[in-house]
Amino acid sequence: MSTDPFTADLHIPVSYKGQRIDRVLAELLDDASRSEIKNWILSGSVTVDQCIRRPSYRVKGNESISVRAHRSNVLDWDSQQNVEFRVVFEDEHVLVIDKPPGVVVHPGAGNPDGTLVNGLIAHRPDLAQLPRAGIVHRLDKDTSGLLIVATNRHSVEFLVDAISNRRVARDYLCVVEGLMDTVQRTDLRIGRHPVHRTRNQVREDGREALTTFLPLESFRLHTAVNAKLGTGRTHQIRVHAEAIRFPIVGDQTYGARGILPKTPSNQLVQLVRNFPRQALHASDIEFVHPSSGTAMRFHSETPKDMQLLLDVLREDRDSFLDS
């Protein structure tokens, strides 16, 4: 089985003092799993101030950590399953897909199968030979929309580099609580929540993050917004939307309260208070083709659940203005 090198050099903020090294690395390394990190530490591939430590070692802060590891580039499962997604574009170098809400991207402890990766391997078995089945960026389970998949090793390296250096443009449509009447740009840093491990939050010692929110259409107490990613941190748009006090409809994890205007229709009440996911859709993506160098642009239409939400909000606004 062949492997790919994984390297990282990190400075541990003082705020992590007293935490286990394996947990600290799990927060700081977005692209590595807890099991990988533990194996790297045990094998001596991780050093703290040039010393090998145990996974249980508790950091002091201000230490320098070096990771010089290897990871398998072949997936260690062979489950190929028919999982719903739409192919938007495909050639021998790249695949662009449209993911529906409710589909987990990568298998994990709570989702061993039925994931997008399983479906991709069923569609293209050769993707099992690539890191993360060729997926070069992420979408949350309940976020719908466009996702790029590299289909060979050169494309993986090219696209990962393009994303890291902000040469991939990613736009999202979202519906937020509150009236956003001006462009909002936030560069608040994002890190793992110290208690709720599946959540992120704004924190001074977090990783650099940049999101720009452009209002598209205002309703009585809600706004349709175009969110542009400058970086790609986990839950970035959701965290930043909450931080600037415009949480995304349906996103109770990040501050959605189900607010409503006065005298709403029953349909609007049900939609806003029971929206089954965060109203967030990866609508547009632009990148350079890894082989031809051609500029590639793709758009995904608004999914039915979000379109219904927008239609009902629009009807509520127009009825109020006509009264």
CA distance 184 to 175: 14
Give the β-pairing of 144-150 and 280-288: parallel
CA distance 142 to 220: 26
CA distance 259 to 272: 8
Residue type, 154: H
Distances (CA, A) of 154 to 189, 242, 289: 31, 37, 11
Residue type, 308: L
From the list 140, 142, 284, 305, the catalytic residue is 140
Residue 41 backbone class (left: φ over 0; alpha: ψ -120 to 50; beta: rest) = alpha
What's the token pair of residue 221? 């107490």
Question: Is residue 295 classed as helix, strand or coil in its secondary structure?
Answer: strand
Answer yes or no: 142 catalytic. Answer: no
Which residues are known catalytic residues? 140
